[in-house]
């Protein structure tokens, strides 16, 4: 299982290594070869090009002069205008005496003018910092995406979330006599099975309603999908604290409380969940979250069983 988790972790951002690099030029002229992943008015998030599977770094835009993207496009970052204090008035020169015998009283020097505005505080040249780390069973919410963390990379900065809700649906809506194998046989990445279903629909003139479990996950928005069987197995192990060798009430409660406290539904330990991985023409693999084996069973595609969606982050 450790090998499986390592493989899943490595797959999270393997595509980044295959792309050309972006170049971040900072205001101090230092350069960072990177793959920019997100830009906001305040920060730029990126991965080092030499370590695409490593942590995500963040730089304030105030520290960046420009970014040259892989396609040659250059984006410049204009620093915020800074207020400059007014120049103090030079004291007046004392008046020249009227006669050598009776010097005139020197004129009082003018009081220097108060600066018009307090200088703006400059952005400190802080070092780049790493995005926060998550824990299994932690509630996740960002940019409107909500779920509970069910899988993590080794550094804890990326992983997978599971949907707050669940539903009973069939894998496929075909009648028993019409069931056929469509090639959704990826065991370690449900996104590949979603792509297979999409190609099957396009080639055969069908619709997503022919695959209710997939359709429900897809309707949640970009990035959501029906997990593969290996992903379901890892979720089950993580739900139980990383092992099913003993009962871990604390780990389960942390996970289920995060679901319930945010309007979701606790994971059902007594019912199997559909994966996106086919077993054969008539059945697909399923798994449950209890500690009792067997952890994997093949069940008829047109039977209603529980469905949860997952999403990488």
Assign a CATH topology to domain 20-80+123-130. Answer: SH3 type barrels. (2.30.30)
- Per-residue pLDDT tens for 262-275? 999 999 999 999 99
Q: Where are the domains of the chain?
A: 20-80+123-130, 139-312
Q: How confident is the model at residue 138 (pLDDT cuts 50, 70, 90)?
A: very high
pLDDT of residue 26: 85
pLDDT of residue 27: 83
Decide if pLDDT at 196 tops 50.
yes
More confident site: 78 or 139: 139
- Per-residue pLDDT tens for 226-262? 999 999 999 999 999 998 888 899 999 999 999 999 9
More confident site: 172 or 40: 172
The residue assigned the tokens 């204009």 is 78
Q: How confident is the model at residue 205 (pLDDT cuts 50, 70, 90)?
A: confident
pLDDT of residue 142: 93
Joined tokens for residue 202: 């396009």
**Reported pTM:** 0.61
């Amino acid at each position: 299982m450790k090998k499986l988790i390592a493989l899943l972790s490595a797959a999270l951002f393997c595509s980044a290594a295959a792309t050309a690099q972006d170049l971040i030029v900072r205001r101090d002229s230092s350069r960072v070869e990177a793959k920019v992943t997100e830009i906001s008015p305040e920060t730029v998030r990126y991965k080092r090009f030499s370590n695409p599977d490593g942590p995500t770094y963040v730089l304030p835009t105030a520290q960046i002069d420009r970014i040259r993207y892989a396609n040659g496009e250059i984006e410049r970052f204009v620093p915020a205008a800074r207020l400059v204090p007014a120049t103090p008035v030079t004291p007046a020169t004392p008046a020249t005496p009227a006669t050598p015998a009776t010097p005139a009283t020197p004129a009082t020097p003018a009081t220097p003018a108060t600066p018009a505005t307090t200088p703006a505080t400059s952005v400190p040249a802080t070092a780049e910092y790493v995005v926060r780390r998550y824990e299994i069973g932690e509630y996740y919410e960002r940019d409107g995406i909500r779920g509970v963390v069910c899988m993590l990379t080794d550094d804890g900065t990326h992983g997978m979330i599971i949907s707050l809700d669940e539903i009973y649906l069939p894998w496929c809506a075909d009648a028993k006599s019409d069931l056929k194998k469509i090639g959704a046989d990826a065991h370690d990445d449900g996104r590949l099975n979603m792509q297979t279903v999409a190609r099957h629909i396009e080639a055969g003139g069908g619709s997503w309603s022919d695959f209710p479990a997939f359709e429900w996950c897809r309707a949640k928005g970009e990035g959501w999908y029906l997990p593969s069987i290996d992903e379901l197995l890892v979720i089950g192990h993580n739900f139980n604290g990383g092992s099913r060798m003993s009962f871990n009430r604390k780990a389960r409660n942390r996970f289920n409380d995060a679901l319930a406290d945010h309007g979701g539904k606790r994971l059902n330990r007594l019912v199997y969940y559909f994966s996106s991985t086919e077993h054969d023409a008539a059945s697909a693999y399923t798994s449950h979250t209890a500690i009792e084996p067997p952890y994997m069973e093949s069940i008829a595609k047109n039977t209603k069983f529980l469905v949860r969606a997952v999403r990488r982050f």
